Amino acid sequence: MPKLIAVEPFPRLQAAIEGRAYTDNFEGDSTYTPSIGGTTVTYQSIQAIQNSNGKVVVVSTNSAIQEQQHLGKHGIYGERSSSLVLGALKSIIKKKEVKGDDTILLILSSNGYKELI
């Protein structure tokens, strides 16, 4: 089974996995990432991460704009919330948590057109 890596704009799942009650409300900034914002977590999310020996990567909401622009330069118009996955990948590469033969799949779950006003 692949390791699941959850990406979030502030440490909700991370706090729950580290022992905080998952039923708590978690405050944080999701101004630029409303699709993955909110103040709650689900038990299923925690179990999926733990059962796959996965992890949580917290990426700042400012990174969402930068990564959306980076992807756009390559013809991919991802929603800001989805674009955080690129920031997470950069983070785990920088921490040397990726091996040269690892297969990595980034999922952009939505396009950026919904953000046009």
**pLDDT, tens only, 5-56:** 999 999 999 999 999 999 999 999 888 888 888 999 999 999 999 999 999 9
- Phi then psi for residue 100, to 5 deg, are -60, -30
Residues 6+ apart with CB under 8 A from 54: 3, 4, 5, 6, 48
Helix (H) / strand (E) containing 65: helix 61-73
Longest Cα–Cα distance of the chain, Å, equals: 42
* Per-residue confidence (pLDDT) for residue 22, from 0 to 100: 95
Query: Does pLDDT of 117 surpass 60?
Result: no
Q: What single string gives the DSSP state of each residue in 39-60?
A: S---HHHHHHHHHTT-EEEE--
Total-model pTM: 0.87
pLDDT averaged over every residue in the chain = 92
* Domain residue ranges in the chain: 5-115
Q: Topology of domain 5-115, per CATH?
A: Rossmann fold (3.40.50)
Query: Does pLDDT of 115 surpass 80?
Result: no
